[in-house]
Structure 1
Amino acid sequence: MAGVGKAIGLGAAAAAAAGAAAAGVAADRAAAERRRLNALDPVAGFAHVADEELKVIATDGLNLHVEIDSPRDLDPELPTIVLSHGFCLSLRSWVLQRRAFVEAGYRVVLWDQRSHGESEISDLEHCSIEQLGHDLRAVIDATCPQGPIALVGHSMGGMTTMALARHHPDLVRDRVMAVAFISTAAGGQGLTDLGMGPLVGRAIGQVGPRLLSRLAPHQRWLAPVRRFGRNVEGSIVDRFSYDSPVSEGLIRFTSDLILATRFEVMAAFIPAIQSHDELDTLATLVDKEVLVVNGEGDLLTPPAHSEKIVERLPGSEHVVVRDAGHLIMLEHPEVVTGQILSLLHRAEVDAAAAVSVVDKPRVRRVLVDIAKGRRVKKARSGQGASDSRPRTRATS
């Protein structure tokens, strides 16, 4: 019997090794395919030098890293666009939008949320969505104390916008011209399911923070492991971030953004995200021009989360993008940028014509990024991918 048990154990180990090897081979093939798409990457790359950098002091004394870009001929009548990034990301995730907004004539303010990017690490007590709302107020007060503003938030950044609206409704009422929610939710329920159902979400909520806290002291030792398993890591990032073909360069950029976040930070914010509930707060925005954008294939914040936001905002516009995942602003940058610029144009036109948002109907559209599809086809055939014009088709 002992011999049989040993044989079974060896068989299981061999099966596990074979499975791991097969996964590695599949990841290698996927990485090779993505490398063929590196022609999709922006000509200027993913690095960016800000026009201005500064530190903003939060209400608890924490230093927040802030960057500002401004066009040469700034129209003071145009709103300042304030960009808030998502969980486990940084302001670098907005690199493609910030360039386009400045080119369109807008002043842009970006910031690293506490414990992310180059901002200081927060104590556990202040790792909350409510505190992020206060942080956003501090950033606005320091960088654009006067004039109209437009708030754009991705994922946790959208939650930050909602917290700002609840705690600082006067600011929103008096100065916010438009709001864009990108891949976000007004309630935290289901946000840790990873597209695998509530059982996975509960497990992550219960076990994830404890596991990440235990791994935190050993995070620095993971760098060699990351290099060894880069292709497997890339496949995981690709699966949960995107829903269309993307380049290996973009996957590397995304992986570095996510894994630059400390494990203890991940552990601290998971409960804050799960307890997030700002559905009632959305009433503060009923008279604002609101855009809600998400990817049809988003596993973290699927369209159902966005629809709950739209239900509370009668005059809002809901745009669902086909073949798009959670990091839609990097996957379909021209589409996201174009939708936000259209939002600002609508806000300016309606304000000039004294059109009330509450009198406007909800609009829901499904878009297909035709231009990207063509670029992917060219890259795969070895013809390059120079056509970057934002062409989309509305399917409904």
Structure 2
Amino acid sequence: MPLLHRERIGPAPFIAIDHAGRGELILLLHGIGGNKRNWIDNLEVFAEHFHVAAWDARGWGESDDYDGPLTFADMSADLCRVIDFLGHTRAHLVGLSMGGRVAMHFADNYPERVRSLVLCDTTQGPKGWTEERRLDFIRSRQEPLLNGLTPADIANDVARSLVSPNASAEALAKLVDSLGRLHKDSYLKAIETNVSDAVLADLTKIAAPTLVMVGEDDQLTPPDEAEEIARLIPTARLSILKGAGHLINIEAPDVFNRQVLEFLLETSRGV
């Protein structure tokens, strides 16, 4: 693997990234329960052909915490900082779950900075939810933490709810570790943010080449949501990975890496 570099990008809140390789830039964007460590097996493969960076979003991993609410606008602005710091004008965005929502928001607001999109196990948001359902969702997810539990206390149960029944012990262990590293306050903010913005982007206006991916056993953002995203984005193609749940890059890394790399190389060549 090309040499891995670690950076912290200011001004505050500082954003932590790991990056390696040369060529066009790929940014790997984790989900609400993740961090940049989730992508190490993917980053190694992609860095043989591209300049690849995995970030910790503000309030996750080795990035700074921050005052005020979490907003997708702030995270998109942070992405601009990362792209500029790494000396690029555009990037391929690979986003999982919340990271996919960040990528869609970014593509709608900064289309000139997007080379392509890979949207994994993600959703447009809680369209059609009543206010009662939204508040009930927030309460049910936040309550254990507000009652004194830590992210590590709930990590095992949450992890098992996200992966396929076919997930390996190694994949489950990686997810449990990831959830246990969450910043409690930022996670509480993220739970609310992720069901507060029903529509983040007009997908029909996205012109960048797009690959939409989902695990066939994903219960959190199931295949029918991926199918709708793929229908709305004019350039999109859809891939459903058999035997995988919500964390396809960890549960099925070989298939994930092969399909994403093929798509990115094809896009890079302008095919």
Query: Is TM (by shorter chain) over 0.5?
Result: yes
Equivalents in 2 of 1:267, 1:106: separation in Å?
34
**Do the aligned partners of 1:282 and 1:312 also contact (CA within 8 Å) in 2?**
yes
Aligned match of 1:89 in 22, 34, 42? 34
Identity over the aligned pairs, expressed in percent?
Answer: 24
Residue 208 of structure 1 pairs with residue 141 of structure 2: yes
**Do the aligned partners of 1:81 and 1:106 also contact (CA within 8 Å) in 2?**
yes
Equivalents in 1 of 2:87, 2:58: separation in Å?
19
**Do the aligned partners of 1:301 and 1:326 also contact (CA within 8 Å) in 2?**
yes
Equivalents in 2 of 1:310, 1:329: separation in Å?
19
Aligned runs of 1:1-396 on 2, under 5 Å?
51-57=4-10, 61-70=12-21, 74=22, 76=23, 79-103=24-48, 105-125=49-69, 127-146=70-89, 148-172=90-114, 176=115, 178-189=116-127, 202-209=135-142, 211-215=144-148, 219=150, 234=156, 237-247=159-169, 249-278=170-199, 280-286=201-207, 288-349=208-269, 351=270
**Do the aligned partners of 2:26 and 2:93 also contact (CA within 8 Å) in 1?**
yes
Report the structure number with the largest CA radius of gyration. Answer: 1
Counterpart of 2:47 in 1: which secondary structure?
Answer: helix
When the two chains are superposed, the root-mean-square deviation of aligned CA atoms in Å is 2.8
Q: Which amino acid aligns with 2:73?
A: E
Distance change (3 Å), C-alpha of 1:348 and 1:68: closer
Equivalents in 2 of 1:84, 1:208: separation in Å?
22
Q: Which amino acid aligns with 2:142?
A: P
Cα deviation, 1:177-226, whole Å, max 9, x if unaligned, reads x21001111223499xxxxxx998652323533553442xx63xx87xx5
Equivalents in 1 of 2:118, 2:83: separation in Å?
16
Counterpart of 1:274 in 2: which secondary structure?
Answer: coil
Equivalents in 1 of 2:28, 2:257: separation in Å?
12
Q: Which amino acid aligns with 2:64?
A: E
1:57 positional shift? 1.9
**Do the aligned partners of 2:25 and 2:88 also contact (CA within 8 Å) in 1?**
no
Q: TM-score, with normalisation over the residues of structure 2?
A: 0.88
Cα deviation, 1:80-118, whole Å, max 9, x if unaligned, reads 111111102101111111011123x22111110011110
1:338 positional shift? 1.1
**Do the aligned partners of 1:129 and 1:273 also contact (CA within 8 Å) in 2?**
no
Equivalents in 2 of 1:89, 1:50: separation in Å?
23
Q: How many residue pairs get matched?
A: 270
Counterpart of 1:324 in 2: which secondary structure?
Answer: coil
Q: Which runs of 5 or more residues in structure 2 are unaligned?
A: none
Equivalents in 1 of 2:161, 2:198: separation in Å?
27
Cα deviation, 1:328-353, whole Å, max 9, x if unaligned, reads 1100001111111121233234x26x
Distance change (3 Å), C-alpha of 1:276 and 1:336: farther
Equivalents in 2 of 1:82, 1:323: separation in Å?
26
Distance change (3 Å), C-alpha of 1:131 and 1:279: closer
Q: TM-score, with normalisation over the residues of structure 1?
A: 0.62
> Following superposition, which runs of at least 4 residues in structure 1 exceed 6 angstroms of deviation?
198-201
Q: Which amino acid aligns with 1:330?
A: I
Equivalents in 1 of 2:176, 2:192: separation in Å?
23
Distance change (3 Å), C-alpha of 1:152 and 1:343: same
Equivalents in 1 of 2:262, 2:6: separation in Å?
28
Q: Which amino acid aligns with 1:241?
A: V
**Do the aligned partners of 2:111 and 2:206 also contact (CA within 8 Å) in 1?**
no
Distance change (3 Å), C-alpha of 1:144 and 1:190: farther
Equivalents in 1 of 2:250, 2:224: separation in Å?
21
Distance change (3 Å), C-alpha of 1:98 and 1:322: same
